[in-house]
Structure 1
């Protein structure tokens, strides 16, 4: 997971997503993997996939940091969507 976190931090999200997909295929109950995959998708700008992965992490672990990430992303999207109507 450390390598995946470094890849996400450095913006190498395609590599991180590939590794996370492989990891999740053999560890489908890892809430941390779904949380990190959500972060990678968020950094890529794929907000729907980010939210889906955060929800998966939250289902597996109600105490997951994905709750905060999910709520933060929802707030950002709500802000931008409201702003679009004001132009």
Structure 2
């Protein structure tokens, strides 16, 4: 989708806030588009906003259980579990 290509470009260029704003507008009009939630999750992940990333991935998975958000969510959970375990080893 052409609109998503532009948003992916914004994310890759580090224009995360602009990408999130564009996705907010898109999701408002298309609340059942799992790819939009997945992309917004990626944008939040790039910001380091783990909670918002997971929330968006969960929304994408709810719409489409086969969404790539499933793997992305698992990756974040693995990272957070690793960091939390690491804190106990200090």
**What is the CA distance between 1:43 and its match in structure 2?**
0.3
- Give the structure-1-normalised TM-score: 0.98
Q: How far apart, CA to CA, are the structure 2 residues paired with 1:43 and 1:84?
A: 22
Gaps of 5+ in 2: none
In structure 2, which of residues 62, 65, 71 is the aligned counterpart of residue 68 of structure 1? Answer: 71
- Give the structure-2-normalised TM-score: 0.95
Q: Moved runs in structure 1, 4+ residues, more than 2 A?
A: none
**What is the CA distance between 1:9 and its match in structure 2?**
1.3
**Post-superposition CA distance 1:22-72 (Å, at most 9, x none):** 000000000000000000000001000000000000000011000010001
**Matched residue pairs, number?**
87
